[in-house]
Chain A
Amino acid sequence: MIRLVGILVGLGFALVALISFVAGFITWSNEEAEETAEHAFHMEAHAPADGFDFEGPLGNWDVAQLQRGYQVYKEVCAACHSLDYVAFRNLEELGYSEEQVKAEAESWLVPGINPDTGEAMSRAGMLTDYFPSPYPNDVAAAAANNNAIPPDLSLMTKARHDGSNYVYSLLTGYNDPATYTNEAGEGFAERFPDSMPGTGLYFNPYFANLNLAMAPPLTADGQVTYSDETEATVEQMAADVAAFLTWTAEPKLIARKQTGWWVLAFTLFATILAWFAKKQVWAGLKPKRED
């Protein structure tokens, strides 16, 4: 009885699935599949020429690069993007002394209250403060940016696929859609005239739908003056800020990998011991013929 019902139920589900398949197949084969602009022109993120020092199981932070990246964030990105989950005290991990971080915190204005009247006011930042948001709320952020709220950057490199490379590629990937051609040599403007960026949008093949609301933030070499005399090319600034944002997204990245090596080494050792122990225990039980 169970089997009979089972066979009927099984045939039923299979039949409906197959009907769906046939219906889907007919629509699919009759439809001229129109290639989308995203499909033809979207590019996967790629690494900067020298890669990133933190990549790989043995990677480590390039502290100087993180400091440069922080400078780029502060002087360029911070105008529109918040960094909600990072506190000034965290900057000590970038190789600054406590005094330097204190001074750095004081150079930012954070929202506070007047201790006498309780009214809202701005005060100098302290170690325990988090990076202030450039806008008081989302409505203000949207109003100031043509309705596109600039996303928080703390977790950006983890919130995108291949995030560190994505940030680098996006920042260096702006192009003129009128003249841009993809690897197959197709011109974007000729192929998808309807997908040309509208007002307030900018063409970037690394962005998911190719047109993003952020104007190219890094436009000219030397936009930032590095104190360590690194040449501030657009690629350099993009790589530096991508490294900095990797740190903000995963400050424990290097500590994690370093812990990992110790843990793996010990586990490997213990597993080898366990293998020999298992062999010892089972040694007397090797299959043997009686005769």
Chain B
Amino acid sequence: MATTTGTPEANVTAGEASGEDGVRRRDFIEIAAVSAAGVGGLVMVFPLISQMAPSADVLAESTTELDIGALETGQAVKAVFRKQPVFVRRLTQIEINQANAVPVDSLRDSQTLAERTQEGHEDVLVVMGVCTHLGCVPLGAAEGENKGEFNGYFCPCHGSHYDTAARIRKGPAPTNLEVPEYTITDTTLVIG
């Protein structure tokens, strides 16, 4: 490309003065080089972002086992799943009836009690103890705590009331308390 000779001053601008073909080839190579650098830079960003995701030891702690053989009707226990509280309650017949009496269509987050429990264990209600509003721990799992207007759980932070099936009935929370994935074999509850 650089056929331009002459004074050194002219040489300085030789690149710009070169012909049509030269410009195209030069553009191609330069665009390719800059793009390669860009791709390399983007790839380097990936580990920088990925490192903030849960590490292997945190991911490994993602199941919780609990023996619910001794859990009596009407009682609830708190367990810890992924460093967050889980409420496990063995519902009384009255509580089950209360929950089933509510017309599902009238609920903010329409779910029946049966959808929130497992077949053969309809009396075992397992929910995350994390209010779906802003993440506080609702009251009601321990003996003597305020269970709210609907006899389930009550979040004191912003006044969300959950019913006996832990469904949102009153207050700002948008959805029912989350039911984590779990399996029950005999008396062992495995969450996660």
Q: Report A-B touching, CB under 8 Å.
A: yes
Given contacts A89-B60, A267-B40, A269-B36, contact A285 B29 (CB under 8 A): no
Is there an interface contact between B57 and A87, defined as CB atoms closer than 8 Å? Answer: yes
B12 within 8 A of A: yes
Is there an interface contact between A284 and B14, defined as CB atoms closer than 8 Å? Answer: yes
Minimal beta-carbon separation of B184 from chain A (angstroms): 19
Given contacts A267-B40, A288-B5, contact A273 B15 (CB under 8 A): no
Given contacts A128-B57, A267-B40, contact A280 B4 (CB under 8 A): no
Is there an interface contact between A286 and B2, defined as CB atoms closer than 8 Å? Answer: yes
For residues 224 through 267 of chain A, which have their beta carbon under 8 Å from a beta carbon of chain B? Answer: 266-267
B17 — nearest CB in chain A belongs to which residue? A284
Interface of B is mostly: helix
A270 within 8 A of B: yes
A290 within 8 A of B: yes
For residues 1 through 52 of chain B, which have their beta carbon under 8 Å from a beta carbon of chain A? Answer: 1-2, 4-8, 11-12, 14-15, 17-18, 25-26, 29-30, 32-34, 36-37, 39-40, 43
**In the complex, which residues of chain B have a beta carbon less than 8 angstroms from the beta carbon of A286?**
2
Query: Complex formed: what's the CA distance from A290 to B6 in Å?
Result: 6
A283 — nearest CB in chain B belongs to which residue? B2
A277 within 8 A of B: yes
**In the complex, which residues of chain A have a beta carbon less than 8 angstroms from the beta carbon of B18?**
284
B61 within 8 A of A: yes
**In the complex, which residues of chain A have a beta carbon less than 8 angstroms from the beta carbon of B30?**
277, 280-281
Q: Which of B4, B32, B56 touches A284 (beta carbons < 8 Å)?
A: B4
Q: Which of B4, B14, B26, B33 touches A270 (beta carbons < 8 Å)?
A: B33
A208 within 8 A of B: no
Query: Complex formed: what's the CA distance from A180 to B68 in Å?
Result: 66
Q: Which of A270, A280, A284, A290 touches B36 (beta carbons < 8 Å)?
A: A270
**In the complex, which residues of chain A have a beta carbon less than 8 angstroms from the beta carbon of B8?**
290
Q: Which of A87, A89, A280, A284 touches B29 (beta carbons < 8 Å)?
A: A280
**In the complex, which residues of chain A have a beta carbon less than 8 angstroms from the beta carbon of B1?**
280, 283-284
Minimal beta-carbon separation of B41 from chain A (angstroms): 10
Q: Which of A87, A269, A276, A285 touches B14 (beta carbons < 8 Å)?
A: A285
Is there an interface contact between B40 and A284, defined as CB atoms closer than 8 Å? Answer: no
Q: Which of B15, B57, B61 touches A281 (beta carbons < 8 Å)?
A: B15
Query: Complex formed: what's the CA distance from A95 to B114 in Å?
Result: 41
Query: Complex formed: what's the CA distance from A277 to B36 in Å?
Result: 12
Minimal beta-carbon separation of B191 from chain A (angstroms): 14
Query: Complex formed: what's the CA distance from A274 to B31 in Å?
Result: 10
Is there an interface contact between B29 and A277, defined as CB atoms closer than 8 Å? Answer: yes
A213 within 8 A of B: no
Minimal beta-carbon separation of A280 from chain B (angstroms): 5
Most B C-beta atoms less than 10 A away, residue of A267, A277, A285, A290: A277
Is there an interface contact between B57 and A288, defined as CB atoms closer than 8 Å? Answer: no
**In the complex, which residues of chain A have a beta carbon less than 8 angstroms from the beta carbon of B12?**
285
A259 — nearest CB in chain B belongs to which residue? B47
Most B C-beta atoms less than 10 A away, residue of A273, A281, A284, A290: A284
Minimal beta-carbon separation of A234 from chain B (angstroms): 35
Is there an interface contact between A284 and B60, defined as CB atoms closer than 8 Å? Answer: no
Is there an interface contact between B7 and A290, defined as CB atoms closer than 8 Å? Answer: yes
**Complex A-B: 9 CB contacts under 8 Å:** A89-B60, A128-B60, A266-B39, A273-B29, A280-B25, A280-B30, A284-B2, A285-B12, A285-B15
Q: Which residues of B contact A (CB under 8 A)?
A: 1-2, 4-8, 11-12, 14-15, 17-18, 25-26, 29-30, 32-34, 36-37, 39-40, 43, 56-57, 60-61
Q: Which residues of A contact B (CB under 8 A)?
A: 87, 89, 127-128, 266-267, 269-270, 273-274, 276-277, 280-281, 283-286, 288, 290
Q: A283-B2, A284-B1, A290-B6 are in contact. List 9 more A-B contacts (CB 8 A).
A: A87-B57, A87-B60, A128-B61, A266-B43, A270-B37, A281-B30, A284-B14, A285-B12, A290-B8
